[in-house]
Amino acid sequence: MIAETILSAVSAAGLGIAAVTAYRKRFLAATRIAAYSLIPIGLVLTGVVEWAVDTAFSPSAWLGFGLLGGAWLLLMATRAVERRGGGTRKERKAAKSAQREAVAPGASAPSAGQAVLPAGQPVTKPKAAGSGDDFSDIEAILKKHGI
C-alpha cells in the first residue's frame, strides 16, 4: 500500500515537471519526462509492484533466486573452462592435427614481403670482431630477409 502511494506521487511529480518543461517550449524533453513519469503508475496499475513486494518478503522466492543464480554461475564456469581448454577432447585432437598440417616445414621467408629502407640511409653491415667468417651465416640470413 505504501509503495503504491509513493509511486503515484512520483508519477504526479514527474508529470508536473513535464508540464513546466513544456511551458518552456522544450516539447521533446517534456514528452520524454512524461513518458518516464508514467512508468511507475503503470507498474502499480498492472500489479507488478504488489507482486514484487510479495516476492521481496518471501523466503521461498529468495531461495529460488539463489538457485537460479547458482545455476547461472555453473553455466558460466563451464563456458569459461570450455573456451580456455579448447572444447571437447575430439575438438582438441582435431585442432592439433590441423595445426601440424598447416605449418610448412621450409617456410622461412616473411609473408609480408621484403623490407625497404628509406632513401638516404646507407646499408650498414655488422662488423666482425675477429675474422670475417664468424658472421657470414648471420649476414646471409639478414640479406635473405632484406635487412
**How long a stretch of residues is the chain?**
147
Rg, the chain, Cα only: 36
Grid coordinates of 81: 573452462
In our burial notation (b when 16+ CB lie closer than 10 A, e otherwise), range 34-64 reads: beebeebbebbeeeebeeeeeeeeeeeeeee
Name which of 52, 41, 55, 36 is nearest 8 in CA terms: 41
Q: What whole-number percentage of the chain has pLDDT above 90?
A: 36
Ranges of H-type helices in 1-135 = 2-23, 27-46, 48-56, 59-85, 89-102
What angle is formed at CA 84 by the lines to CA 83 and CA 85, rounded to 5 degrees? 95
pLDDT above 70: residue 133: no
Average pLDDT, the chain: 81
Question: What is the band of 61 on the pLDDT scale with cuts at 50, 70, 90?
Answer: confident
pLDDT value for 52: 86
Is the pLDDT higher at 13 or at 111? 13
pLDDT value for 11: 94
- The pTM for the full model equals 0.43
Is the pLDDT higher at 80 or at 121? 80
How confident is the model over 77-82, as a mean pLDDT? 87
- CB of 139 within 8 A of CB of 126? yes
pLDDT value for 132: 56
Cα separation values, 15 from 1, 6, 39, 48, Å: 21, 14, 11, 21
